[in-house]
Structure 1
Amino acid sequence: MKRCGSFSSLNHRMARVGRDLKDNEAPTPPPQPWTVTPDFTHHAHTASLSAVAVNSKYVVTGSRDESIQIYDMRKKVEHGALLQHNGTITCLEFYGTAHLLSGAEDGLICIWNTKRWECLKSIKAHKGHVTSLSIHPSGKLALSVGTDKTLRTWNLVEGRSAFIKNLKQNAHIIKWSPDGEKYVTVITNKVDIYKLDTASITGTITIEKRISSIRFITDSVLAIAGDDEIIRFYSCDSQKCLCEFKAHENRIKDIYSFEREGQHVIVTASSDGYIKVWNLDLNKINNVPSLLCEVSTKARLTCLAVWLDQASEMKENCGKAATSTEANESEKPSAVKKKKVCGMNKSGKLTKQRRRIVPAKRKLEAPLQKKKKKQNSSE
């Protein structure tokens, strides 16, 4: 009996020691702070920047000066300029490494080949301005909205319009979800959520201020920034606010997100001149993200994108942020030294030359598909 008692006492002590070890386990360490340092700076335009986009090699910027500037981020050099549009460049979006779509106040959407930087197709997309565009993850479709109160679906395989939906008001933002099963439009302070297969609204999110930027964090979680200092996370399924927090001291102009080394990172840019980098725990979406770093640009930011140097990803502490500021329109443009620049005359000055456009009757050879096989779909 004593022996049995001794085993029972030993088991009790072992269980207690186990509990003590569990209680004394070190908590999960917080994310290490990051640092941001200037890496490449260039006076890009003669007017304020209005759009920016990145892929694995290039950063492109659009401006009120009607031009699109190209930068090779691997070599840290200016690569040239695209002068197809007449009017402010309103939206830019890459699909992979081979194609870029641009939209502007002239109502055109242009499809660019990024290997030769030639315009494959110029589409008269809207009667008014093109305010926003978004490419489906498959690369076969694109959506655009404009000041003619229409939402248009584009068949990018054929390079033609596939569907037109009339809106009650002008939408200024449109975005596909990462899985391509839904898309959202923004009209002033309201987000309408559409289901792809029915093209019908499944829910609406409304905030108090005008919405300046949105970003899908996951297929069902949307980050929304308005003309205030608050970032809000909403569920697309329930349209309920999951979390909100004060991110800046002035209105937020843009949001960007990416995955890096197992972390989900959000980058925000504000009119207060600050860029802030946040770590978001997707398993605790209701918690306020932790601040990884911040930097004051001492400029009025207008848009934001993040270029990740894949080659040195393991060596660097932070993605490089491609940001834009409102430039003084009276400033003279800096001299362009690149030899091969679209629209440059012999004297070295930029001119309004036009790039060759593929005739409308000629079908595009799957402009946003990596494979060169002919596509017969007509979505």
Structure 2
Amino acid sequence: DKYTLEQSFTNHAHTGSVRSVACAPKLLASGSTDENIRIFSMSKRVDVGTLVEQQGTINCLQFFEDSHLFSCSEDSTICIWDVHNWECMKTLRGHKAGVNCISVHPSGKLLLSVSKDKTLRTWNLIKGRCAYITNLKAIASIVVWSPSGSLFAVLFDKRVDVYDISVGDVIHSIAVEHKAVCVSFLTKHIISVGTENGNIELHNIETKSVITTFEAHSNRVKDMFVTPSHNSWLFSISSDGFLKLWELDHNNLSKKPKLLTSVDTTCRPNRLTVWTNNAGESTDENIRRISDDDEKPMKRKKLK
């Protein structure tokens, strides 16, 4: 089969650099250095409003199912948004510096966050408060849960620490020669690391070994995404401007992934998310539209 990547929508709503993106079944959210979160309808490919609450760059966004949106900011806060009315339900405070990344547990009951204050925080989302604080020796840039929620990875400049929640500690530490830029779980025990020199490394957490390293881009790998419904597909973006789609052979991961297609975005992308059209054609869910001028909710609008 032949695959192509074609641009179907573009938007210049932000006045600053876009630092984070996230998808839900019907929505796309983007966060920027302009301190705003923009919400887009994926069915109509239009901007449906702006969320303004945090006073700093929006470093990371994540939807939980189609009910909540989580955002973390350089102002050290984490906001939890109700997607049905776009109200900020809760602001989680505790970090002493900017929050670099957040990751919601697959159960929706826990949230992890890493900050420039050199801490990893575990938040109890049922009670809406911090449950644990783990002091780190360096600033972590990314934290991400495994698909099963039994493991999570914390990314540093030259290292990735993998934690097991059953033991509450690091079970494997991956050292990388070049600066690590992004990390993603392919499966429960297989992790991919994108580096500054354009390589992607695949590591087996169980055997604590490197499976393979391949040259994916000519410049730093900025982000990667494994499609949940097709974990043989790995998307990657780079400072070289290219978006690439790779096919992994899970029966032989030591073999270099097959490049299915690539496209020059003609820009310097920062973040990547993949939207799969699995929401169906019809929905009776109402999404409130937010005006661009005074941020007051407009008349409810049904997204098809």
- TM-score, normalised on structure 2? 0.91
Which of 182, 201, 213 is 2:151 aligned to? Answer: 182
The answer for the alignment partner of 2:181 in structure 1 is 212
Q: Tell me the secondary structure at the aligned position of residue 198 of structure 1.
A: coil
* Amino acid paired to 2:62: E
C-alpha change, 1:263 and 1:220, in structure 2 (3 Å) is closer
- Any idea what the Cα deviations from partners look like across 1:302-337, whole Å, max 9, x if unmatched? 111111122689xxxxxxxxxxxxxxxxxxxxxxxx
1:281 aligns with 2:264: no
CA contact (8 A) 1:143 1:154 kept: yes
Measure how far apart 1:174 and its partner are.
0.7
Give 1 or 2 for the bigger CA radius of gyration: 1
- Any idea what the Cα deviations from partners look like across 1:15-44, whole Å, max 9, x if unmatched? xxxxxxxxxxxxxxxxx1201111111113
Give me the identity figure in percent: 38
Alpha-carbon distance between aligned partners in 1 of 2:141 and 2:62, rounded to the nearest angstrom:
15
C-alpha change, 1:44 and 1:83, in structure 2 (3 Å) is same
The answer for the alignment partner of 1:297 in structure 2 is 265
Alpha-carbon distance between aligned partners in 2 of 1:248 and 1:190, rounded to the nearest angstrom:
20
Mapping of 1:90-101 within 5 angstroms?
90-101=59-70
Q: Tell me the secondary structure at the aligned position of residue 227 of structure 2.
A: strand
- Any idea what the Cα deviations from partners look like across 1:268-311, whole Å, max 9, x if unmatched? 00111110111111111111111111111111111111111226
RMSD: 1.7
- Any idea what the Cα deviations from partners look like across 1:219-240, whole Å, max 9, x if unmatched? 0000100111101100112321
Alpha-carbon distance between aligned partners in 1 of 2:12 and 2:104, rounded to the nearest angstrom:
29
1:310 aligns with 2:259: no
Q: Tell me the secondary structure at the aligned position of residue 69 of structure 1.
A: strand
1:341 aligns with 2:290: yes
- TM-score, normalised on structure 1? 0.74
The answer for the alignment partner of 2:238 in structure 1 is 270
Structure ranking higher in strand proportion: 2
Query: How many residue pairs were aligned?
Result: 290
1:146 aligns with 2:115: yes
Gaps of 5+ in 2: 282-287, 297-304
Mapping of 1:195-210 within 5 angstroms?
195-210=164-179
1:85 aligns with 2:54: yes
The answer for the alignment partner of 2:104 in structure 1 is 135
The answer for the alignment partner of 2:7 in structure 1 is 38
Structure ranking higher in helix proportion: 1
Alpha-carbon distance between aligned partners in 2 of 1:311 and 1:105, rounded to the nearest angstrom:
32
Which of 183, 190, 194 is 1:221 aligned to? Answer: 190
Measure how far apart 1:340 and its partner are.
3.6
CA contact (8 A) 1:106 1:130 kept: yes
Moved over 3 A (4+): none
1:172 aligns with 2:152: no
CA contact (8 A) 1:267 1:277 kept: yes
- Any idea what the Cα deviations from partners look like across 1:46-89, whole Å, max 9, x if unmatched? 11110111111111000000000000101211110111110100
Alpha-carbon distance between aligned partners in 2 of 1:191 and 1:37, rounded to the nearest angstrom:
34
Measure how far apart 1:266 and its partner are.
0.5
Bigger relative contact order, structure 1 or 2, given CA contacts below 8 A and separation 6+?
Answer: 1
Mapping of 1:52-131 within 5 angstroms?
52-131=21-100
Alpha-carbon distance between aligned partners in 1 of 2:195 and 2:97, rounded to the nearest angstrom:
24
- Any idea what the Cα deviations from partners look like across 1:88-121, whole Å, max 9, x if unmatched? 0011111100011100000000000111111000
C-alpha change, 1:280 and 1:123, in structure 2 (3 Å) is same
